[in-house]
Amino acid sequence: MILYCNKGTSQDIADLNFLLGNWTLSSRYLDSEANWVSDPGGNAIFKKVLEGQGIQEDADFYFQGTLYKTRTLIGVDKGRQTYRFAILDHRYGYLDVHEGSFVDGALEISNMNTGTSFLVDNTEYIYKARYKSNDADSFVMSILVSTDQGKNWNKINETVYSRADE
* DSSP conformation class of 39: P
CA-nearest of 50, 35, 98 to 70 is 98
Specify the CATH number for the domain of residue 159: 2.40.128.20
pLDDT higher than 60, residue 5: no
Q: Is residue 113 part of a domain?
A: yes
Q: What is the chain's mean pLDDT, rounded?
A: 87
Cα separation of 35 and 83, whole Å?
32
Q: Is residue 22 part of a domain?
A: yes
Q: Is residue 4 part of a domain?
A: no
Lowest mean pLDDT among 13-17, 72-76, 138-142: 13-17
Percent with pLDDT over 70 in the chain: 93
CB 97 within 8 A of CB 116: yes
Residue 138 — pLDDT band, cuts 50, 70, 90?
A: very high
The predicted-structure confidence for 36-75, as pLDDT tens digits, reads as follows 999 988 999 999 999 888 999 999 998 888 899 999 999 9
pLDDT higher than 50, residue 4: no
Residue 166 — pLDDT band, cuts 50, 70, 90?
A: low
Integer angstrom CA distances of residue 20 from 35, 100, 107, 137: 32, 19, 14, 10
Domain range for 33 is 10-163
Cα separation of 72 and 84, whole Å?
10
So what's the pLDDT on residue 94? 85
Cα separation of 90 and 123, whole Å?
24
Percent with pLDDT over 90 in the chain: 57
Total tally of structural domains belonging to the chain: 1
CB 37 within 8 A of CB 1: no
Cα separation of 68 and 40, whole Å?
12
Q: Is residue 2 part of a domain?
A: no
